[in-house]
Structure 1
Amino acid sequence: MKRMGIGLQMYTLRDVTATDFEGTLRKVAAMGYEGVEFAGYGGIEAESLRDLLQELKLTAIGSHISLQALDTNLENEIAFLKTIGANYAICPWLPLEERDSESWRGHLVKFEQFGKRFREEGITFAYHNHDFEFEVEIDGEIVFDALYARIAPEHLQVEMDIGWVQYSGKDPLAYIKKYTDRLPLLHLKDFRAGEKGKGIDTVELGRGDLPLVPIIGAASEANVEWLIVEQDTCANPPLESVAESMEWLKNNYLNQF
């Protein structure tokens, strides 16, 4: 099995970073996480964040950037990513009013334009799914697949949230295999099945329903670069949750290397 990096999506710790962004990053590094994916920078200047990451030996994997920021602040977002040494820019979510078929046709055009601009600066653009991409079609094809069928790989890569894939009723192993060599980032998420339509009850790795060990094996076969832990909501204090997920990874994945 190929050794993939272990990262954390900092959105998981949003309540903690709201009061102590730097201190939270230090705790994440001490847990053994090797990289972080941002969803905001806590008001820290790019140069200061770069220096802090270097001190902590944390890789800046990339950042979740809202559609609004991509539309209105693209050049500043590019400059920040380049300063901190991040290789990925990811659109993480779309507002409810932007999810119908006609809106998606416009997004396809925009995403290609964003991808071209990021590529010019040596940054890879990707899209992170939830469940709604499996519920809308464009010309008979579900949006998740239409995105990647209609936009060239050099302009759009996959950041697959495997928890949402399974929640949507799709086979996570089949979807990982389908996007081999176009899936550099995999959000590793566990959840317990609940009533459809009530959202996703995310839990620490190993406490839910996903076949995580086979998923990690499939990710390695698909040439995933980073396994990124993300927990949308935490029943326990968030730092405890991400520490527990890291321990699960140490015991069920990292111990092989």
Structure 2
Amino acid sequence: MKKNQIAAQLYTVRSFTKTAEDLDAALQKIKAIGYDAVQVSGIGPIAPEAVLEMCQRRGLTICATHVPFEWLLQDLDNVIKVHKAWNCRYVGIGSMPPAYRTGLSGYQEMARTLSEIGAKLSEAGLGLIYHNHKFEFEKIAGKTGLEWLLEESDAAHVGFELDMYWVQAGGANPVNWVLKVDGRMKVVHLKDMAIVNDTQTFAEIGEGNMDWPAVLDACRATGVEWYVVEQDVCPGDPFESLALSYHTLSGWAE
């Protein structure tokens, strides 16, 4: 992991990206922290051209996105157009729509749908990545939902964007899962897990209990390209949380 591979997930600062003016100010702060890349997610209805102009002016690469699943189903050509304009290869799905969370048949249908979308994105030179939460670790017919997605989807066209916090929250081993998706994960989500009053809670990198040296070693070994910091809930100013995570991670960079 090099410093320029560490990115900030804009969802972390979603309350500060609802207008173009606010987004530009947020990007300025993120660049000042030291980040060279961002993942676009959770921003307001801002024209793609404006987003690109701001990121270029601030010297920030758009490394990945999260887009609404219905856009992939209904407006894929435009999704491709925007990502190509942004020079952004990785098209992310932030979560599985509830309609597919219906047992094994739902996971199999989701895998088929992802494979179809992923094939079209691959033809355009882009990559589809799926971001997990905790529910995918519920057992269905002897395997976790995420195992079914991994096995039933087309390895050539469906990638994963494992969220290390949610893997651990689901009772699984983050390192083992990084190794499971070897060759299929170019973007990883990093957030720490702390225990406060006997409850799991989000924390900045290095402020919780996760085994980051082992996780990062596995990511390096399996070819992860982007290490994206995301903190769903921050104890105070989310920019301060992004800064703390960046400075800890950058200290471990090569």
Q: TM-score, normalised by structure 2?
A: 0.91
Decide whether the 8 Å contact of 1:50 with 1:85 is kept in 2.
no
Change (3 A) 1:95 1:111: closer
Decide whether the 8 Å contact of 2:93 with 2:130 is kept in 1.
yes
Please tell me whether residue 207 in structure 1 is matched to residue 207 in structure 2: yes
Percent identical across equivalent pairs?
30
User: Which position in structure 1 is the counterpart of 2:58?
Assistant: 56
User: Which position in structure 1 is the counterpart of 2:136?
Assistant: 133
Decide whether the 8 Å contact of 1:3 with 1:220 is kept in 2.
no
Which deviates the most, 91-100 or 228-237? 91-100
Decide whether the 8 Å contact of 2:108 with 2:148 is kept in 1.
no
Decide whether the 8 Å contact of 2:11 with 2:40 is kept in 1.
yes
Q: CA offsets, 1:60-110, max 9 Å, x none?
A: 112111222222222222211111111001111124443122322221121
Q: Describe how 1:12-23 pairs up with structure 2 within 5 A.
A: 12-19=12-19, 20-23=22-25
Decide whether the 8 Å contact of 2:89 with 2:127 is kept in 1.
yes
Q: What's the Cα RMSD here?
A: 2.0
Q: Describe how 1:74-113 pairs up with structure 2 within 5 A.
A: 74-101=76-103, 102-113=105-116
Shift of 1:220: 0.7
Decide whether the 8 Å contact of 2:10 with 2:43 is kept in 1.
no
Q: Describe how 1:220-235 pairs up with structure 2 within 5 A.
A: 220-235=220-235
Shift of 1:174: 1.4
Alignment partners' CA distance in 2, 1:212 and 1:90: 24
Alignment partners' CA distance in 2, 1:122 and 1:150: 22
**Any idea what SS the aligned residue of 1:206 has?**
coil
Q: What amino acid sits opposite 2:212 in the alignment?
A: L
**Any idea what SS the aligned residue of 1:62 has?**
strand
Please tell me whether residue 115 in structure 1 is matched to residue 118 in structure 2: yes
Alignment partners' CA distance in 1, 2:207 and 2:107: 35
Alignment partners' CA distance in 2, 1:83 and 1:136: 40
Q: TM-score, normalised by structure 1?
A: 0.90
Q: What amino acid sits opposite 1:141 in the alignment?
A: K
Decide whether the 8 Å contact of 1:10 with 1:39 is kept in 2.
yes
Runs of 4 or more, structure 1, over 6 Å off, are none
**Any idea what SS the aligned residue of 1:119 has?**
helix
Decide whether the 8 Å contact of 2:92 with 2:130 is kept in 1.
yes
Shift of 1:177: 1.7
Shift of 1:201: 1.4
Decide whether the 8 Å contact of 2:108 with 2:152 is kept in 1.
no
Decide whether the 8 Å contact of 1:9 with 1:230 is kept in 2.
yes
Alignment partners' CA distance in 1, 2:129 and 2:12: 19
Decide whether the 8 Å contact of 1:100 with 1:136 is kept in 2.
no
**Any idea what SS the aligned residue of 1:187 has?**
strand
Decide whether the 8 Å contact of 1:88 with 1:124 is kept in 2.
yes
* Number of aligned residues: 250
Alignment partners' CA distance in 1, 2:42 and 2:236: 23
